Amino acid sequence: MSTATAHPNIALIKYWGKLDESLIIPSTSSIAVTLAAYESRTTVTLSENSKNDIAFINGEPLLGAGLARISRVLDRVRELAESTVKARVVSENTVPTAAGLASSASGFAALAVAAAAAYGLNASAVELSRIARLGSGSASRSIYGDFSIWHHGETDETSFAEPLIWQGEELAVVVAVVSAAAKAVSSRSGMQSSVETSPFYRSWVETNNQLVLEALQAINDGNLEALGELTEKSTMMMHAVMLTTNPSIRYLTGQSLEIFDSVRELRESGVGCWATADAGPNVKILTRRKDSAAVAAHLSSRFSEVQILESQLGGAARLVEHQP
């Protein structure tokens, strides 16, 4: 029995769309930071006499496609560990599930670490990131704390995440939870329709790969102003691709956009802060740790009905309990 924890990550330079649906090879590389405020905790227990894997998330049994994704990750671990034994997976999330707050990223990263330990597989961080990727692409990045890059690669071996070293001041992320409800269109099916139907898709891939290179430079220089601008650019380009998908996908609400405006207003008054959002209406604001209380206070005063939460950057996924 093995238990692991992992934190969600928020992409600064986004991933949206795959080259290979089954292996989850993305069309572009992406860069993210991990959030300490939320966590998934996953326990994997081998069940010698069971014919199937079983899984529970927050006490609810998982069936159908959700269970199949978990088995996909377990199958890869079993293949590497040369085992045929099924498993029981119990996962608890403090991340609102499927609300664009990266619950699948933390969940599958914790699953990869716990499953590798339970099956006695001695896997490196890069190998764990490839295993986590099979459950959810963004989970490849949650293996690491702080900053990471997911290299798009072209094959299972070359598509993995690695840590990056931020050379600047300590950072924080302020989260504005506009809605914790599950999204209507999953990121998996949304990105597939964008690849197939958005007339902007090809230019998204070209531009976003360029933004990755510029962001690597900004991270290496510890230049938050440059990184913040690149983050907002990648965010708006991804949402433009979503909007121009047929049928159109719209994750941002009017209130999300008002929060983006309010962040710009605060930035123009001299506080370094930049907003981003993923496949949901919630907005995450990248800022210096010393400014995060001011950003949270600014947003709380304008959006009294929105839950505002300050988070430090999170640590890596880790094994917290192991009984061979």
Q: Min. distance of Cβ 263 from ligand PMV in angstroms?
A: 19
Residue 23, strand partner residues: none
Q: Min. distance of Cβ 11 from ligand PMV in angstroms?
A: 3
Nearest to 156 by CA among 29, 23, 18: 23
- Residues 136 and 105 sit within 8 Å (Cβ to Cβ): yes
Q: How far is CA 262 from CA 19, 267, 279, in A?
A: 36, 9, 20
Write out the two tokens for 47. 């069940």
Q: Min. distance of Cβ 278 from ligand PMV in angstroms?
A: 4
- Residues 236 and 200 sit within 8 Å (Cβ to Cβ): no
E strands of 18-165, at which residues?
18-20, 25-26, 30-34, 40-47, 54-57, 60-61, 86-93, 147-151, 160-164
Nearest to 52 by CA among 34, 38, 68, 66: 68
**Shorter beta-carbon distance to ligand PMV: residue 188 or 250:** 188
**Shorter beta-carbon distance to ligand PMV: residue 3 or 148:** 148
Measured in Å, how far apart are the chain's first and last C-alpha atoms?
6
What residue ranges bind ligand PMV (CB under 6 A)? 11, 14-16, 30, 104-105, 136-138, 187-188, 278-279
**Shorter beta-carbon distance to ligand PMV: residue 96 or 137:** 137
Closest residue by beta carbon to ligand PMV: 11
Q: Min. distance of Cβ 285 from ligand PMV in angstroms?
A: 16
**Shorter beta-carbon distance to ligand PMV: residue 105 or 177:** 105
Q: Min. distance of Cβ 279 from ligand PMV in angstroms?
A: 4
In degrees rounded to 5, what are phi and psi of residue 59?
A: 85, -10
**Shorter beta-carbon distance to ligand PMV: residue 77 or 161:** 161
CA distance 226 to 182: 32
**Shorter beta-carbon distance to ligand PMV: residue 2 or 29:** 29
Q: Min. distance of Cβ 300 from ligand PMV in angstroms?
A: 25
